């Protein structure tokens, strides 16, 4: 009775600590999936896992227990007996061990069921796969067979072989205990019925081995790395290919030998002969023969032997990574820029990004975080129509970081401080008289002095929203600070799950591990709980079969609402002959764009590339979760960007795979690389830039993603690659290539010229000696017509200060380098004449030299915003006066005068 109670206690404890939390997790996950409208993903995965688990577990259970009980049954002439005590009769060990076959079968069945359930996606892909309509060059199969069918076949055959091996071991052990296996010093052998039983299992294993070789190992030659490429090499096709056939036939011959040995009652001997033969053939034919061919036949004439395979590798890699659609354009290399060219490309000049992400993020943090619990996580590039003009901007959402709250209480973290507030947005190239960025949208609540407005600034879902929160409670939600008072808000969105009944509330308490959820009087049945709010976590939970770009970005929709855009990738590591990344990925498409509403948390997934077979397969598995790209609102679609991670991979691969001739590819005679400057900050993505520019032979400026290349081991520029982002041209890739005989200075050479310029070096050194820190911005490569200019912003940060100020701009063209107070002034010095300003009104800084007049962009503003800005300068001037900081006081009064002057001129 006590043992019975102990068992029940153990079961109850198991349910309490694992079963109940697991069930609660599934139920609350279901509520979440239903809320976001992706319940089909949850249900399909769950049902597929349960179905595969049940089928695999039942098959494994019946197969294992049948073989185990068959081996333990029957009568044996010499069973293994165990005498526990001289007073007790001997015990038939095998007869008693037969009683544990069932529990052993259950445990092993659970193991096989778990493995099968984990392969649910492979099985569903096999059953719903789409065709690539591209055949591999060796077997002539559609690529879809390798991507969708081969992985499932490998799993199924692997499980079957594992099941046979385990049954063979268990059965052999049982027969041994029944005395049907004779061991030395007697003649090794098997007695009936052990010989027939073991022979059947051995034959099954050898047949499965042959099937595995033909259906799995042979096709996997197309992923080989034997030669100088990924894919079946010369040795694979002429040595490993026939060797695998021979090994498969050896396995079949071994099966015949086992059957023959059973009939001749010499099964052990013939089984041993089969094993030795299989191992010998595998070593000699499958190992030594391919090695000898590679070493003595292929290696001395590798290029000649591997040329056809290299061609297949190049074609497959370009197709798998979308490089076969890159348009190559040759530049003359002798273009000479004039002031007329600069004026004709004013849209490019007026959108040169003078603010680097890191200095700007520091500036935003100091000027616009407002309170300690607000954070700017990152800076994003985008473009907007601002006051009727196409402008490139930098923006950063102002998110609430709950870890920085003054008091980390349940009410503060989960009921009161529930959301961030708005964003800061400004042009990429405008600067105030203090060297600070001009801001189009700023402050709390967000105030805009341009046509771009934010109407719903609350950010309930973002990159820093890691905590769950309850809304529509008795506790007022903090919205934003206003002087000494705090403005509160009430959530009116549809996001989150309704708390509802006491039982559901208890389940949320268990999920979050917070008893306060159950006890709080502020939470009602009408309250809503928002969880899985971090956008990357949220989208990966809703679409677990996709991978996502590491750079999600916020956009301001046409109605002023804030939304997040994420780039979803379909990937596989099973594309034959294609070059792989370090994680094995050999194919990638940006087939899905995901939009998450920052207020409601709604998720909308749009198919960008319906020709992608992988996303087509997912659409069949999960019908209804994707929308066509045509359904995306036009104001949102206008902010689609070519994804950063994909462009970085494509540009890196294209540096080698632009060579499509096997001879050139093998010798790497025209290989490119990402430019290097010798800095520790050099990375593959360092020179990748979003730019608004007019491409050669195009009429209008557009928003592009650009990456330059230099020849491998050289510093001069070889080419530059772009991805287009606007309208019907979205996703088009082009490469502009300079003639090999021309010399176009690269970033390292320009950097050296800047460092060697005595005037620039003297001025920068003088600043450093005065206690200020000089920060050199990123060196920008700006294509104009068929030539290039280089631009480098120079920031100055006071000793002990945290706000970098833009003070100078270095401009370089060919072998000329100048440093001026503005980009326009630098271009004017290089090319002569006047360069169009980025705004109509210009402020001249007093005391500046005539050729280095600092022109500051003065955007048109309304009287109310001008008065607000004047008040800010006045307040800072008074603070500086009280602190005795007369230099800061002078700057603020001067800035106040400029604002008043702008206000007067606007009337």
Question: Side-chain half-sphere of 334: how many Cα atoms within 13 Å?
Answer: 1
For residues 744-751, average pLDDT? 91
The most confident of the ranges 101-105, 304-308, 834-838 is 304-308
pLDDT tens for each residue of 835-851: 666 543 333 322 333 33
pLDDT of residue 858: 35
Please, which pLDDT band fits residue 866 given cuts at 50, 70 and 90?
Answer: low
Q: Which of 332, 336, 331 is nearest to 831 (CA)?
A: 336
Pick 179 or 594 by higher pLDDT.
594
Helix, strand, coil share (%) of the chain residues, nearest 5: 45, 20, 35
Low-confidence winner among 140-149, 615-624, 790-799, 873-882 (lowest mean pLDDT): 873-882
Exposure of 478 in the CB half-sphere (CA atoms within 13 A): 23
DSSP line for 567-597: EEEEEES--TT----TT---EEEEEEEEEEE
Cα distance between residue 817 and residue 876, in whole Å: 38
Which of 261-275, 521-535, 542-556, 889-903 is least confident? 889-903
Helix (H) or strand (E) holding 796: strand 787-798
CA distance 522 to 412: 12
Can you tell me the mean pLDDT for 750-754? 92
**pLDDT at res. 181:** 77
Give the pLDDT score at 88: 67
447-448, strands of its sheet edge to edge = 380-386, 389-397, 423-427, 441-442, 447-448
Choose from 70-79, 88-97, 457-466 the range with maximum mean pLDDT: 457-466
- 85-94, 293-302, 875-884 — which one is most confidently predicted on average? 293-302
What is the rounded distance in angstroms from the CA atom of residue 348 to the CA atom of residue 448? Answer: 25
Q: What is the pLDDT of residue 841?
A: 31
Model confidence at 802, pLDDT cuts 50, 70, 90, reads confident
Q: How high is the pLDDT of residue 705?
A: 95
Higher pLDDT pick, 80 / 271: 271
pLDDT per residue over 378-392, tens digit each?
A: 999 999 999 999 999
pLDDT of residue 30: 96
* Residue corresponding to tokens 């694979």: 236
H or E segment to which residue 566 belongs: strand 562-572
The residue among 683, 673, 659, 665 whose CA lies nearest residue 715 is 673
Q: What is the pTM of this model?
A: 0.87
**Statement: residue 563 has pLDDT above 80:** yes
614 vs 344, higher pLDDT? 614
Q: 813: helix, coil or strand?
A: strand
Q: What is the mean pLDDT of residues 534-555?
A: 96
Task: Report the alpha-carbon distance of residue 327 to residue 524 in Å, rounded.
Answer: 60
Cβ proximity of 317 and 323 under 8 Å: yes
Taken in order 666, 668, 674, 680, the sign of the CA dihedral is positive
CA proximity to 586, closest of 161, 136, 269 = 136
The answer to whether the peptide bond before residue 185 is cis (omega within 30 degrees of 0) is yes
User: What's the mean pLDDT in 28-36?
Assistant: 96
Share of the chain above pLDDT 70, in %: 88
Calculate ∠ Cα 447-401-353, nearest 5°: 50
- Answer yes or no: is pLDDT of 736 > 80: yes
Rounded Cα gap, residues 731 and 724, in angstroms: 6
Reading the block at residue 481, the tokens are 């600070």
Q: What contacts 17, CB < 8 A, 6 or more positions away? A: none
Please give the pLDDT value at position 20.
Answer: 80
- Does the pLDDT at position 681 exceed 60? no
Per this entry, what is the length of the chain? 907
pLDDT at 868: 60
In this predicted structure, what is the pLDDT of residue 883?
A: 65
- Buried b vs exposed e over 349-383: b needs ≥16 C-beta within 10 Å? bbbbbbbbbebbbbbbbebbbeeebbbbeebbbbb
pLDDT digits (tens, 9 = 90+) for 617-671: 999 999 999 999 999 999 999 999 999 999 999 999 999 999 999 999 999 989 9
Torsion of CA 876, 881, 882, 884, to 10 degrees: 120
Tell me phi and psi for residue 590, to 5 degrees: -85, 75
DSSP 462: B
Rounded Cα distance between 673 and 669, Å, is: 12
Bridge-based pairing state of the strands 528-530 and 469-471? antiparallel
The pLDDT of residue 334 is 77
At residue 250, does pLDDT exceed 90? yes
Radius of gyration, alpha carbons of the chain: 35
Judged against a pLDDT cut of 80, whether residue 410 lies above it is answered with yes
**d(Cα 815, Cα 721) in Å, to the nearest integer?**
23
pLDDT at 763: 87
Helix (H) or strand (E) holding 735: strand 733-737
Q: Which of 350, 345, 363, 343 is nearest to 429 (CA)?
A: 350
**443, pLDDT greater than 60:** yes
Q: What is the pLDDT of residue 241?
A: 97
Average pLDDT over residues 178-195: 77
Strand partners, 327: 734
pLDDT above 90 covers a percentage of the chain that reads 69
User: pLDDT tens digits for 130-140?
Assistant: 999 999 999 99
Buried b (16+ CB within 10 A) or exposed e, 774-791: bbbbbbbbbbbbbbbbbb
Token pair for 793: 């912003």
* Of the listed ranges 290-304, 321-335, 464-478, the one predicted with least confidence: 321-335
User: In this structure, are residues 562 and 454 in contact, taking their beta carbons and an 8 Å threshold?
Assistant: yes
Q: Is the dihedral of CA 383, 386, 391, 397 positive or negative?
A: negative
Identify which has the larger pLDDT, 899 or 521: 521
Write the DSSP assignment of 647-683 as a string of letters.
Answer: HHHHHHHHHHHT--SHHHHHHTTT-EE----S-TT--
Tens of pLDDT, residue by residue over 43-63, are 999 999 999 999 999 999 999
pLDDT band at 887 (very low <50, low <70, confident <90, very high): low
């Amino acid at each position: 009775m006590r043992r019975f109670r102990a068992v029940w206690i153990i079961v109850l404890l198991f349910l309490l600590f694992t079963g109940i939390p697991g069930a609660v997790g599934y139920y609350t996950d279901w509520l979440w999936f239903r809320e976001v409208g992706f319940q089909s993903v949850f249900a399909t995965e769950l049902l597929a896992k349960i179905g595969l688990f049940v089928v695999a577990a039942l098959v494994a259970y019946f197969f294992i227990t049948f073989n185990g009980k068959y081996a333990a049954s029957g009568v044996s002439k010499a069973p293994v007996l165990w005498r526990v005590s001289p007073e007790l009769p001997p015990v038939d060990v095998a007869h008693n061990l037969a009683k544990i076959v069932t529990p052993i079968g259950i445990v092993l069945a659970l193991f096989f069921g778990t493995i099968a359930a984990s392969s649910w996606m492979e099985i569903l892909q096999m059953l719903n796969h789409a065709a690539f309509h591209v055949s591999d060059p060796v077997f002539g199969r559609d690529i879809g067979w390798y991507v969708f069918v081969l992985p499932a076949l490998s799993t199924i055959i692997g499980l079957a072989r594992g099941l046979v091996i385990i049954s063979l071991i268990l059965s052999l052990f049982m027969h041994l205990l029944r005395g049907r296996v004779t061991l030395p010093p007697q003649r090794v052998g098997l007695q009936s019925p052990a010989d027939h039983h073991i022979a059947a299992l051995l034959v099954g294993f050898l047949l499965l081995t042959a099937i595995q070789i033909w259906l799995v190992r042979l096709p996997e030659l197309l992923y080989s790395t034997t030669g100088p490429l990924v894919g079946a090499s010369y040795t694979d096709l002429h040595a490993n290919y026939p060797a695998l056939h021979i090994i498969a036939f050896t396995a079949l011959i071994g099966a015949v030998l086992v059957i023959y040995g059973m009939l001749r009652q010499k099964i052990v001997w013939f089984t041993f002969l089969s094993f030795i033969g299989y191992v010998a053939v595998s070593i000699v034919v499958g190992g030594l023969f391919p090695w000898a061919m590679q070493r003595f036949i292929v290696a001395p004439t590798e290029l000649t032997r591997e040329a056809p395979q290299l061609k297949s590798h190049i074609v497959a890699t370009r197709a798998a990574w979308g490089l076969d659609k890159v348009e190559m354009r040759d530049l003359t290399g002798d273009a000479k820029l004039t002031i007329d060219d600069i004026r004709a490309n004013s849209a490019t000049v007026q959108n040169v990004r003078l603010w680097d992400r890191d200095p700007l993020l520091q500036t935003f943090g100091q000027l616009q975080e407002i309170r300690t619990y607000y954070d700017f996580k990152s800076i994003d590039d985008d473009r907007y129509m601002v006051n009727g003009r196409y402008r490139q901007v930098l923006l950063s959402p102002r998110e609430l970081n709950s870890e920085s709250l003054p008091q980390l209480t349940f009410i503060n973290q989960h009921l009161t401080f529930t959301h961030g507030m708005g964003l800061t947005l400004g042009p990429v190239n405008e600067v105030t008289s203090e060297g600070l960025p001009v801001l189009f949208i700023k402050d709390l609540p967000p105030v805009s002095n341009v046509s771009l407005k934010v109407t719903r600034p609350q950010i309930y879902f973002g990159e820093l929203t890691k905590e769950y929160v309850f809304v529509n409670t008795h506790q007022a939600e903090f919205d934003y600070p206003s002087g000494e008072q705090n403005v509160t808000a009430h959530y009116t969105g549809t996001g989150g799950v309704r708390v509802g009944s006491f039982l559901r509330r208890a389940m949320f308490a268990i999920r979050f591990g917070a008893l306060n959820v159950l006890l709080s009087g502020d939470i009602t049945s009408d309250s809503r709980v928002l969880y899985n709010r971090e956008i990357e976590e949220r989208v990966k939970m809703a679409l677990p079969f996709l991978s996502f770009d590491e750079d999600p970005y916020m956009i301001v929709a046409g109605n002023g609402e804030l939304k997040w855009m994420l780039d979803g990738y379909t990937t596989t590591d099973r594309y034959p002959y294609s070059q792989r990344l370090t994680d094995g990925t050999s194919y990638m498409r940006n087939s899905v764009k995901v939009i998450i509403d920052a207020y409601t948390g709604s998720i909308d997934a749009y198919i960008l590339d319906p020709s992608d077979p992988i996303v087509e397969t997912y659409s069949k598995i999960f019908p209804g979760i994707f929308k066509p790209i045509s359904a995306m609102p036009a104001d949102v679609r206008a902010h689609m960007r070519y994804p950063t991670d994909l462009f970085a991979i494509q540009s890196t691969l294209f540096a080698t795979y632009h060579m499509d001739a096997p001879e050139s590819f093998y010798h790497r005679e025209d290989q490119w690389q990402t430019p290097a400057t010798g800095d520790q900050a050099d990375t593959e993505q360092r020179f990748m830039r979003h730019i608004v520019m007019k491409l050669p032979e195009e009429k209008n400026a557009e928003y592009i993603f650009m990456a330059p290349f230099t020849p491998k081991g050289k510093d001069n520029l070889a080419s530059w690659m772009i991805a287009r982002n606007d309208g019907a041209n979205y996703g088009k890739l082009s490469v502009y290539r300079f003639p090999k005989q021309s010399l176009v200075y690269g970033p390292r050479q320009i950097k050296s010229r800047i460092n060697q310029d005595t005037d620039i070096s003297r001025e920068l050194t003088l600043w450093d000696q005065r206690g200020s820190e000089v920060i050199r911005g990123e060196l920008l490569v700006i294509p104009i017509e068929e030539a290039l200019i280089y631009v480098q912003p120079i920031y100055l940060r006071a000793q002990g200060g945290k706000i970098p100020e833009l003070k100078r701009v270095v401009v370089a063209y060919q072998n000329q380098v100048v440093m001026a107070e503005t980009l326009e002034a630098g271009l004017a010095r290089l090319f002569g004449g006047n360069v169009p300003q980025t705004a109509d009104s210009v402020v001249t800084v007093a005391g500046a030299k005539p050729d280095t007049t600092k022109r500051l962009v003065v955007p048109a503003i309304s009287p109310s915003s001008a008065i607000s800005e004047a008040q800010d300068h006045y307040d800072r001037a008074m603070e500086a006066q009280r602190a005795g900081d007369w230099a800061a006081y002078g700057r603020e009064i001067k800035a106040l005068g400029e604002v008043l002057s702008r206000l007067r001129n606007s009337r």
